[in-house]
Amino acid sequence: MDGRTRFKRGSDQGLPAGRSASQSPQSHRCIRPDSLNTFRKFVPSLEPFRAWILFLLLIPALPLTSRAQEPPYFVTYSDYMEEPGNLEFTLKSANGTPQYGNPFFGEALEMEYGATGWWTTEVYFDGQRTTHDSTIFTGFRWENRFRPLAREHFINPVFYIEYENVNAADRSLLEITGHDGIADLRVANSEGHSDTERSLETKLILSSRARGWDVSENFIAEKDLNESNPWEFGYALGVSRPLVFAARGKPCVFCAENFSAGAELYGGLGTVGGFGLKATSHYLGPTVQFNIPHGPSISFSPNFGLNDNSVGALYRIGVSYEFQQLFRRGRAK
């Protein structure tokens, strides 16, 4: 009990002394109790979507700009680099229900800036809500990606390095490393919030393009800076392509050239002392992206767990919006 008085439906609790439910005046029955209960249940259910609602309400007030051109991945990185001077905001979510655990709604707000043609930097703010638990802020990340080769090659490498300061209650699931699994997603927020992990994460990103297809592979290595834990490893693979390459002559919103689709496979690879697939989790799922002309890009992906150490299904949603030449435009003025 949380200290608040709870009233049972159909009981006499909450009525003035000496008056039963059958004797209560008509004014006490003008609002049906079941309607109030439905409303009370509905309002908290909207809480995980507050950031999404605010984000979508702000989009119409933003200046018109071209959409982002990234492949429709949630975990896998391609060799895409933000254009110098451009700033992109992305809101990503991961929603799932671990077996014997509570449903969770993890969110990550990303701010990506193109510093140069070969350097993109990004800051993340993570949070989550767990049903029957609480809503908490789980930490931040600072990511940097470097592309050593300016021209297009058969294989285009990108080097990735990130500093993470997130706690054990994080549910953004931006990557899977080591022996991350379903047990980590059952940890109560009060317990996980007190366990902050500061880590260094690196990735080798390799991307290729052939006949319109993007094929990207990521190898992940992560080291906990708090303790003397071994290096943890993971992977992510993604393939995608636009549905149509040739655009129509007329302006069109729901045309095939504004959609791209693909698939992702990702998971953990153990540690230095136990490299491999044993006691790891893995996910596979299709992904689709709708690039609204002069507007945001909206992505969706259902991910399916491939073993007992994974959540049965994860549902990912992403919305991104790009500002072109934001800071450089201000300097020009």
Residues 137-160: tens digit of each pLDDT: 999 999 999 999 999 999 999 999
Q: Where are the domains of the chain?
A: 44-332
Q: What are the residues whose beta carbons fall under 8 Å from the beta carbon of 333, sequence distance 6 or more?
A: none
pLDDT at residue 70, rounded to an integer: 84
- Please tell me the distance from the alpha carbon of residue 89 to that of residue 320, in angstroms, as a whole number: 5
Q: State yes or no: pLDDT of 262 exceeds 80.
A: yes
Cβ pair 172, 299 in contact under 8 A: no
Mean pLDDT of the chain: 84
- Please tell me the distance from the alpha carbon of residue 333 to that of residue 328, in angstroms, as a whole number: 9
Mean pLDDT of 172-185: 96
Extended strands (E) in 20-155: 87-96, 104-114, 119-130, 135-146
pLDDT tens by residue, 89-123? 999 999 999 999 999 999 999 999 999 999 999 99
Helix ranges restricted to H, the chain: 33-45, 50-58, 189-192, 326-332
pLDDT at residue 43, rounded to an integer: 41
Which residue, among 315, 278, 280, has the nearest Cα to 300 in the 3D structure? Answer: 315
For the domain 44-332, what is the CATH superfamily, name and number?
A: monomeric porin ompg (2.40.160.40)
pLDDT at residue 162, rounded to an integer: 98
Q: State yes or no: pLDDT of 41 exceeds 70.
A: no
pLDDT at residue 4, rounded to an integer: 40
pLDDT tens by residue, 199-256? 999 999 999 999 899 999 999 999 999 888 999 999 999 999 999 887 777 888 899 9
Which residue, among 293, 294, 214, has the nearest Cα to 258 in the 3D structure? Answer: 293
pLDDT tens by residue, 70-89? 899 999 999 999 999 999 99
pTM listed for this prediction: 0.80
